[in-house]
């Protein structure tokens, strides 16, 4: 499903601890939780996933880093229903307030090949608060993709976000994503984002799947597509050779 910039709302969980924002280093997960996957992706991003003993059964947390450090943290249900997100740069939060008549269901997608959804997310931040209806569908294309030795199911999706009060379209996005069925996770793929008459092509597809004990597991620095954020290093020109 869409909406992969997300965070957590379990009572007391945020106060108990979170992944440590940093330009480089290793993630630190809350006590009682265990990280199980790091994913390096295109467009200068890396995400880390963990589960917690005291969280809802099957719930998964994700912290996402870009070149500047920790960008967002999110939590999803066992059905990969988006529950809550926090964005570190400005403190914006997006959390589920109403599942609506048709909550997202990964089980439905895997069992039938298609899942529709409609639910309400409340956005709060520097510009105030509003409720946004997210509705759309995910469909398995029947194609299996192998990335870094990991077998993924390809999906086709389309989603529309609408202001719950006015009914006006906030944005639309459509394209492809990937499902890691064994871990019940979605990953971004190539998509098209439309907002305010403008259109943008994105592709944050996964490139590396790193598991506990493997090199670079838990690293917070993205590895791919970060050329624009590389450190600028001044090197003086070589001294001119002395004339004989």
pLDDT over threshold 50, residue 106: yes
Among 99-103, 130-134, 212-216, 230-234, where is mean pLDDT lowest?
230-234
For range 98-117, the mean pLDDT: 93
Selection from 49-58, 93-102, 139-148 with the highest mean pLDDT: 139-148
Backbone angles phi, psi at 199, to 5 degrees: -130, 135
Give me the residue spans of the domains in the chain. Answer: 13-226
pLDDT over threshold 80, residue 104: yes
Q: What is the pLDDT of residues 136-148, one digit of tens each?
A: 999 999 999 999 9
For range 220-227, the mean pLDDT: 92
* Predicted pLDDT at 100: 75
pLDDT over threshold 90, residue 12: no
* Predicted pLDDT at 98: 78
For range 206-228, the mean pLDDT: 93
CATH, domain 13-226, list 2.40.360, 1.10.10, 2.70.98, 1.10.287: 2.40.360
Q: What value does the mean pLDDT of the chain take?
A: 86
**Two tokens at 67?**
């070149």
pLDDT over threshold 70, residue 4: no
Runs of H (alpha helix) within 65-156:
106-112
Task: Using pLDDT thresholds of 50, 70 and 90, give the confidence band for residue 159.
Answer: very high
């Amino acid at each position: 499903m869409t909406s992969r910039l997300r965070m957590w709302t379990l009572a007391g969980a945020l106060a108990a601890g979170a992944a440590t924002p940093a330009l480089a280093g290793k993630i630190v997960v809350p006590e009682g939780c265990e990280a199980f996957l790091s994913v390096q992706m295109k467009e200068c991003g890396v995400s880390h996933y963990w589960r917690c003993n005291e969280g809802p059964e099957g719930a998964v947390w994700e912290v996402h880093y870009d070149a500047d450090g920790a960008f967002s943290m999110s939590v999803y249900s066992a059905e990969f229903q988006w529950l809550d997100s926090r964005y570190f740069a400005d403190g914006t939060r997006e959390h589920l307030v109403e599942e609506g008549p048709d909550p997202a269901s990964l089980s439905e997608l895997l069992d039938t090949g298609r899942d529709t959804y409609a639910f309400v997310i409340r956005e709060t931040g520097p510009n105030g608060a509003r409720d946004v209806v997210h509705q759309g569908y995910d469909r398995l294309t029947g194609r299996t993709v192998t990335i870094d030795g990991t077998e993924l199911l390809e999906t086709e999706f389309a989603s529309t976000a609408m202001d719950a009060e006015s009914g006006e379209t906030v944005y639309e996005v459509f394209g492809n994503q990937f499902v890691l069925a064994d871990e019940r996770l979605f990953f971004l793929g190539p998509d098209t984002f439309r907002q305010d008459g403008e259109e943008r092509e994105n592709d944050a597809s996964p490139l590396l799947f790193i598991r506990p004990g493997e090199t670079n597991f838990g690293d917070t620095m993205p590895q791919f597509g970060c050329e624009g954020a590389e450190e600028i290093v001044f090197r003086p020109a070589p001294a001119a050779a002395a004339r004989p």
